[in-house]
A and B are shown apart, each in its own frame.
Chain A
Amino acid sequence: MSERDFDGLARIEQVTGLGMISVRGTLTDAGFQAAVVAATGVSVPDRGTVSTGAGRTVAWMSSDEILVVCAEADAKGIVDALNAGLAGTHHMVTDVSDARAVFRISGGAARDVLAKVCPVDLRPNMFKAGQFRRTRMAQVACAFWAEDETAFSLIGFRSVQDYIWDVLTTVASRDAPVDHFAS
């Protein structure tokens, strides 16, 4: 579902209806990995990447944290499954669905739009589909991953969702092409 959309240098959409679960634990532990696969159907991603499948995305947040992105309705079930699967180990599963806002940036100039506000090496040979980065967007924290060559999902905090929207739609103005990343 998309709450609002904008067409400029890139298409910007705010995506709603997503559930998000923060999971902390020992990522290298076989039991942890098995619990994540059992609860989400997706494996624990490598550093700096996402793994996807069954309409779900699992993102590598840090050496002891992953983020599960799923349908909103699935969140509670996954939280319970993770807690059950990780019982007896040191872990933390937190439903953060309501704490976040998700945006999709797509189109030929999506990389140009992101590169105006994120200090990330977005050269297509450096940031490929499936890669994930925690960084900042203008003045706020964010994380994003490349779904494919020209589409990105960006997660920010809900309190600044209007700021993120305003910044993205400002820098994606058709009047401000950069044509830096050939598409």
Chain B
Amino acid sequence: MSTRLSQGGRLIDRSAQQGFSFNGKRLKGYAGDTLASALLANDQMLMGRSFKYHRPRGVIASGAEEPNALMNLGAEGKFEPNARATTTPLFDGLEAASQNHFPSLEFDVGALNTHLSRFLPAGFYYKMFIHPRPFWKHIYEPFIRQSAGLGKAPKARDVDTYEHFYAFCDVLIIGGGIAGLQAAKVAADAGLEVMLVEQDPHWGGRAPVDGTGIDGKPAQDWIDTTVAALGDMPNVTLRARCMGAGVYDHGYVLCYERLTDHAPKAAGPRHRLWRVRAKQVVTATGAIERPLSFAGNDIPGVMLAGAVRDYVVNYGVSIGDRTVVVTNNDDAYRTAIALKEAGLEVPAIIDARTGGAGALGDQAKALGIRVETGKAIAKVKGGKRVTGVGICAQAGEGSILEEIACDCVTMSGGWSPVVHLWSHCGGKLIWDDALAMFRPDGDRAPTSHDGNPFVITAGAANGALSDVLADATAQAAEVVSRCGGKTDAAAPTEANTAENAIEPIWLMPQGAAHKLRSKSWLDFQNDVKVSDVQLAAQEGFESVEHAKRYTTLGMATDQGKTSNINGLAILSKELGVDIPQVGTTTFRPPYTPISMGAIAGEARHEIFQPLRKTPMHDWHDANGAHWEPVGHWRRPYCFLRGDETPEKAVHREVLNTREKLGLLDASTLGKIIVKGPDAGKFLDMMYTNMMSNLKPGRCRYGLMCSENGFLSDDGVVARISDDTWLCHTTSGGADRIHAHMEEWLQTEWWDWKVYTANVTEQYAQVAVVGPNARKVLEKLGGMDVSADALSFMGWADGTIGGFDVRVYRISFSGELSYEIAVPANQGRAFWDALLEAGEEFGVMPYGTEALHIMRAEKGFIMIGDETDGTVIPQDLNLHWAISKKKDDFLGKRAQMRSHMADPNRWKLVGLETTDGSVLPDGAYAVGEGTNANGQRNMIGRVTSTYHSPTLGKGIAMGLVHHGPDRMGEVLDFPRVDGTVVKAKIVDPVFYDKEGAKQNV
């Protein structure tokens, strides 16, 4: 059984006991434990079930590479799935639950799959669920979806907060092991600004566990000294619990700082996402140990050699009294020695190499450990935990020579440098035959904007499994020189034991029969075995990327950190090619999953998105506004009174405006000033109609098209002075049209003397609309707003009620209407003044829906309703607004293309239902016959549809094939429920066609 030893554990504080629960069971650990070490200390070897076969699984690693020990953490707003127990810091009150089992972790029905594994080979889902076709949608997919996924999706809203931070430095060093520390010291001593991040809470990495000596002392002494020295330097930033997550173009790096995961009751953000720009990036990310592939290597109690050493040395945790070590390299001997020194038994070291180990082998033998060379594990015995191993010759096929009883099997297939961050932005790898590893190719580094390398890698991550400090010093010196500095730093003396060479062992024993291969796991989380990769190769999946997707190797939440190299080695052997020819799959950020909260940062709740508010926003909010989003603005759709429905409110607002007086907050309308000697020429290019001949004091409605001819925006243009125009845009279009203007001015007509300014927010604008509009303005007084002084489509500056105003006599409703702009800071006061003065004239504010209905009654188009990016002005019968006199304007040439000039384009008409009902929005009119897909032919569609309170019936606009030529014809519009609405083609102007009401 796994247990806590009475002594040892350099990272735990035995005086600080922490209570936690696992699947509801109350357990105890110590401060400094990870969830994994604390579970092991409580003999909880079984930590989860695998994804496909639901096999019982224990922890195999001690860090970020862990594939098995995934937990649901916390509850409610603190719930998080798929947390790795090995990187989850223990805290008092932690609640963890295992995943992917039913009904319980100990007894799981899904484990039946393991007995069916013969029938669930690689590509099973692809092969099984493809026929019959209809079964996919109705039977297979729902079934697979139900059984898919390890953790549960959180249901409650996350109660934690998150934030971002933008940092800049000369050198960002990722990884705070001895390589990272040394690199930081060298770079900082050379005067560079250095940021050093480490994913773990402590510095120094594996060196203290591995017993490395530095400058004649234990590694920990050097680590403490170096961290203290770096901490004192003003040009150094140290961040522990901060993982380098991704390296991107031009020295951009994301780092993921876990601020309160170890103390969830602490105030403040849980995670902080660092968005770093560094001139140079050093990845000192260490290495990850590889499992060995032998039968039963997934049984709880089979673990990586380095991890077993970590648990003993760091946490004082023993996996079992008797540990068998199996290896192809010398490093695993360190585990045997550490266990022996902790008073535990090591019945045997099974070394697949015939030559065995060097000095470490002698040391092990001196401690009385039996060493078997040229041997392998034929199979592991046990179910939910290891009970023993069968030993065989590595060169053979797996005949068991001897069985050894044990509680733990610790394996080492060698170490793979963590090349992920090196590779994210294009760093290439080379296969090192001697070390049996892919390591970064320093000659093919990720390059920055200037073509020079911006990433370098140091220490074990660079393949330097020994002489780490010498490598780190050399790499740091290169970085210093790339940053234009100088260093003559020397590496501290590192005591290294000479080791015998690793021997690549990809399958154990080398001639293992299918029965053994089909129990030799490569990917523990996704249940991919040696036999699955071999089958994929036999079926023709030769590319590593294809084999990966076919078998799901490396596609789990651990992204194959322990499995990819082993898998592609098996693939290369099966294909009869060398490992480098197979290559690796692509390394993509993030290195390990980061929280969605960290990505969102502060953007949540009220500040999830910017909300644009007009100067009258608060009045609307306090007076029943039923809000609707328009771009980032919120505009009142209508103003609810009492228990009115929105429909009723809209009805009331339309009738009141038509009969008395309505006020519309039109502040969101875009306002762009265009000024300069060439402003007229410029506007003639931007608009389809002529703007240069507009007289100062007058307004003109204009259309803007893209260079492809499609209608893009519309609005009223006012000529302010000889060289100045003011262009109104749609509410959503202000920024876009301003950018559109600037783009043409800056890229195409850079020599035209034109300046633009977006002054949308400088003004509050109020539309005063209705038969009483003039009366209320005259009551407030200050300027002549009579028809003679200010005629339709004119504008004038003046004062009204003491406010500085600019009044435009324009109408989007068909009523007598003044749109009045005041400086934004006076907007609310002006609004209040209009409401007060308008009281006697029956004033009511109205919202966007009343605005829409009134414009539709008048047959005015709306950008976004009548247009959708495929509509040209000619489709909307707006020929009158397209100048024939101008040589050119944006869209002119495009509109002459054959398809644009095609008389068969659908054109705008009015539509009136024969029964007075409202046509469904977006409904299609159907014609005779069917198209090539067997669907009814379409001959038109509805673009706007409303109930008109003014006319007491449904009105609509739509685009119809040969529409204007078919006045009076009745079309069929099928509804979703299968019934049909009939509507007659009519003139789109339903109300006051001659414009008498607006021109008074």
Contacts and interface: CB of A to CB of B under 8 A. Distances in A.
Given A115-B165, A119-B166, A96 B607 contact: no
A96 B755 contact: no
A92 B755 contact: yes
Contact of B761 (A126, A159, A171): A159
A158 B760 CA distance: 10
B237 interface: yes
B269 A92 contact: no
Contacts of B16: none
A81 interface: no
A116 B611 contact: no
B610 A123 contact: no
Contact of A98 (B614, B675, B823): B823
A103 B609 CA distance: 19
A22 interface: yes
Interface in A76-104: 90-92, 94-100
A97 B755 CA distance: 19
User: Chain B interface secondary structure, helix, strand, loop or mixed?
Assistant: mixed
Contact of A139 (B267, B269, B603, B633): B603
Contact of A180 (B163, B237, B610, B760): B237
Contact of A116 (B163, B267, B759): B163
A121 interface: yes
Contacts of B166: 115-116, 118-120, 122
B759 A123 contact: no
B511 interface: no
Given A138-B603, A159-B761, A92 B168 contact: no
A176 B161 CA distance: 10
Interface in A119-178: 119-123, 126, 138-140, 157-163, 166-167, 170-171, 173, 175-178
Contacts of A175: 267-269
Contacts of B823: 97-98
B606 interface: yes
B167 A180 contact: yes
B732 interface: no
Contacts of A92: 673, 675-676, 755, 757
A120 B168 CA distance: 8
Interface string B807-829: 00000000000000001111000
Contact of A157 (B164, B602, B603, B761): B761
Contacts of A140: 610
Given A98-B823, A171-B163, A91 B613 contact: no
Contacts of B633: 159
A98 B163 contact: no
B753 interface: yes
Interface in A41-99: 64, 90-92, 94-99
Given A90-B677, A176-B268, A24 B610 contact: no
Given A90-B676, A123-B168, A163 B607 contact: yes
Contacts of B609: 139
Contacts of B163: 116, 171, 176
B762 interface: yes
A178 B611 contact: no
Contacts of A123: 168, 193
Contacts of A119: 166, 275
B193 A173 contact: no
A178 B632 CA distance: 31
Nearest to A140: B610
Nearest to A161: B613
A90 B736 CA distance: 25
A64 B69 CA distance: 60
B398 to A, nearest CB: 57
B290 interface: no
Interface in B561-616: 601-603, 606-607, 609-615
A117 interface: yes
A182 interface: yes
B238 to A, nearest CB: 11
A95 B762 contact: yes
Given A98-B824, A116-B163, A162 B613 contact: yes
B268 A22 contact: no
B621 to A, nearest CB: 11
B677 A139 contact: no
Contacts of B613: 159-162
A164 to B, nearest CB: 8
Given A92-B673, A117-B164, A173 B611 contact: no
A162 B607 CA distance: 9
Contacts of A176: 161, 163, 268-269
A95 B806 CA distance: 15
Contacts of A160: 610-613, 632
B607 A138 contact: yes
Contacts of A167: 602, 607
B824 A99 contact: yes
Contacts of B825: 97-98
B234 interface: yes
A117 B602 contact: yes
A24 B754 CA distance: 10
Nearest to A121: B168
A138 B602 CA distance: 8
B277 interface: yes
A79 to B, nearest CB: 12
A182 B163 CA distance: 20
Contacts of A98: 761-763, 823-826
Given A92-B675, A99-B761, A157-B761, A166 B165 contact: no
Contacts of B676: 90, 92
Given A96-B762, A98-B824, A162-B613, A126 B168 contact: yes
A154 to B, nearest CB: 15
B840 to A, nearest CB: 30
A27 B602 CA distance: 38
Given A98-B763, A163-B611, A166-B607, A116 B755 contact: no
B667 to A, nearest CB: 9
A22 B267 CA distance: 43
A158 B761 contact: yes
Contacts of A170: 161, 602, 607
B614 A116 contact: no
Contacts of B277: 121
Given A116-B602, A157-B761, A180-B165, A173 B268 contact: yes
Nearest to A114: B166
Interface in B860-909: none
Given A90-B677, A98-B763, A180-B165, A24 B602 contact: no
Contact of A159 (B168, B193, B614, B753): B614
B358 to A, nearest CB: 47
Nearest to A162: B613
A24 B753 CA distance: 11
A90 B753 contact: yes
A171 B753 contact: no
A35 to B, nearest CB: 15
Contacts of B612: 157, 159-160
A9 to B, nearest CB: 11
Contact of A94 (B167, B603, B759): B759
12 contacts: A92-B673, A94-B759, A96-B759, A99-B762, A115-B167, A116-B164, A117-B164, A119-B275, A126-B168, A138-B610, A170-B161, A176-B163
Given A116-B166, A173-B268, 12 more contacts: A92-B673, A96-B757, A99-B760, A99-B824, A121-B168, A122-B168, A138-B602, A158-B761, A163-B611, A166-B607, A175-B267, A180-B237
Interface of A: 22, 24, 64, 90-92, 94-100, 112, 115-123, 126, 138-140, 157-163, 166-167, 170-171, 173, 175-178, 180, 182
Nearest 4 CB-CB pairings of A with B: A175-B268, A98-B824, A159-B612, A92-B755
Interface of B: 161, 163-168, 193, 234, 237, 267-269, 272, 275, 277, 601-603, 606-607, 609-615, 632-633, 673, 675-677, 753, 755, 757, 759-763, 823-826
